[in-house]
A = this chain, B = another copy of it.
Amino acid sequence: MRVAVIGVGQTKMGEHWSKSLRDLSTEAGAMALKSAGLTATDVDGLFIGNMSAGRFVGQEHLGALAVDHAGMTPIPATRCEAACASGGLAFRKAYLSILSGHHKIVMVGGSEKMTDLGATGSVGTLMGAGDQEWESSIGLTFPGLYALMARAYMERYGLQRDELSLVPVKNHTHGIKNPYAQFRFPVSVQDVSRSPLVADPLRLLDCSPITDGAAAIILATEDIARRVDRPVWVAGSGQASDTLALHDRDDLCRLGASEKAAQMAYSQSGMKPEDIDVAEVHDCFSIAEIIAYEDLGFAKRGKGKQLLINKDTSMGGSIPTNTDGGLKVGHPVGATGIKQIIEITRQLRGEAPNQVKGAKIGLAHNVGGSGATALVHILRSD
């Protein structure tokens, strides 16, 4: 059986002071339904990815929140959580639920309301994605964890500061055309290297922002998808795990979970890295995008920067990556994995603001924490 994306919707990413978590979720869900030509009563299941609403806004039970406020009770509603990979995780569980034969049309959303807590509170809450007993407790933060990876990578492979900056420079350029982006301005290599130091070697413009936002997708069985215009098929789904704490890894310059999730998705879809026309990768910090190129097989170990130098991952390159600007221009953690698949869907439908000409096969890569969870999905237009 095949399963397809038949509708998508998302809110603007940013600071939403006048909208609560439920408002954002419902806005995205309603857009997704409309884009699929469906109403709420057509849907028989709901999944939602959310990392930490319990701490961000004092609300757990996110499935019930979403399904209730959207007027979709009594359908089953399920919250999935794997830190910043919660969206990709919810997508995979929704996909498997259709394959199980128990569901036919499922809404899968992601949401996060992060700004209510302020910057300090958010950074502490986000450390819930790491190892509470061995990392948070000694004062590590996520910029700190990725800075350790960046430093190790720079030492081993000779990556330079200004080469690392090519990631945010590219993604900010892509983000300018994205109407949903939190940031829509260009940054230069010089801007990055002059931005405030957060955790050496990572600077402010290496880091994805604190963001409110929601995104939603409608998934359906093949017979239902055939009735809609331009369904986008799920060709491969991979999910893998790794140690929660960074210090337990053999190698700081790769994410084993990303490699294994990619292998699963490539194997199921019968695709190879060179078949991918467009990709969304998890650029929570600049270094993460370079490592992702290598984990996903787009570049050999230590050679990821060449894709940036040669502009292979820019618009017009051989594999444009983060064509919506990536996490760099908005990272509402629970929604991110869904937002990535929405951008791939738009690309494969030929309706992306930064359209990759003739894109037929796309990949979305979503990471939780410092790599303890990874999800990779491959989608195709036919």
Name A residues whose Cβ lies closer than 8 Å to a Cβ of B. Answer: 20, 22, 46, 51-55, 57-65, 67-69, 72-83, 89, 92-93, 96-97, 99-102, 125, 127-133, 136, 237, 239-245, 248, 256-257, 260, 368-369, 372-373
Residues of chain B within 8 A of A130, CB atoms compared: 61
Tell me which of A64, A125, A130, A256 has the highest count of chain B C-beta atoms within 10 A of its own C-beta: A64
The chain B residue sitting closest to A47, CB to CB, is B93
The chain B residue sitting closest to A46, CB to CB, is B241
Distance to closest chain B CB from A338 (angstroms): 16
Distance to closest chain B CB from A271 (angstroms): 17
Residues of chain B within 8 A of A93, CB atoms compared: 78, 93, 97
Known interface pairs A100-B97, A128-B54; A63-B82 also in contact (CB < 8 Å): yes
> Judging by beta carbons under 8 Å apart, are B74 and A62 in contact?
no
- Out of B76, B102, B373, name the residue touching A99 (CB < 8 Å): B102
Q: State the CA gap A234–B92 with chains docked (Å).
A: 23
Interface of A is mostly: mixed
- Out of B20, B65, B96, B369, name the residue touching A100 (CB < 8 Å): B96
Distance to closest chain B CB from A378 (angstroms): 15
Q: State the CA gap A46–B241 with chains docked (Å).
A: 10
Known interface pairs A64-B368, A82-B79, A102-B99; A58-B132 also in contact (CB < 8 Å): yes
Tell me which of A46, A78, A82, A133 has the highest count of chain B C-beta atoms within 10 A of its own C-beta: A78
Q: State the CA gap A16–B128 with chains docked (Å).
A: 21
> Judging by beta carbons under 8 Å apart, are A372 and B68 in contact?
yes
Known interface pairs A64-B368, A64-B369, A133-B22; A242-B74 also in contact (CB < 8 Å): yes
Known interface pairs A99-B102, A100-B100; A244-B65 also in contact (CB < 8 Å): yes
Residues of chain B within 8 A of A96, CB atoms compared: 96-97, 100, 102
> Judging by beta carbons under 8 Å apart, are B54 and A125 in contact?
yes
Q: State the CA gap A282–B239 with chains docked (Å).
A: 33
> Judging by beta carbons under 8 Å apart, are B20 and A77 in contact?
no
- Out of B58, B237, B242, name the residue touching A128 (CB < 8 Å): B58
Interface CB pairs A-B, < 8 A, 18: A55-B55, A59-B131, A59-B133, A60-B129, A63-B82, A68-B242, A68-B244, A68-B245, A68-B248, A76-B92, A77-B241, A78-B82, A78-B239, A79-B81, A93-B93, A99-B100, A99-B101, A99-B102
Q: State the CA gap A99–B103 with chains docked (Å).
A: 12
Residues of chain B within 8 A of A237, CB atoms compared: 102
Query: 3 smallest A-B Cβ distances: which pairs?
Result: A64-B372, A60-B128, A99-B100
Distance to closest chain B CB from A108 (angstroms): 13
Residues of chain B within 8 A of A240, CB atoms compared: 73-76
The chain B residue sitting closest to A64, CB to CB, is B372
Tell me which of A68, A69, A81 has the highest count of chain B C-beta atoms within 10 A of its own C-beta: A81
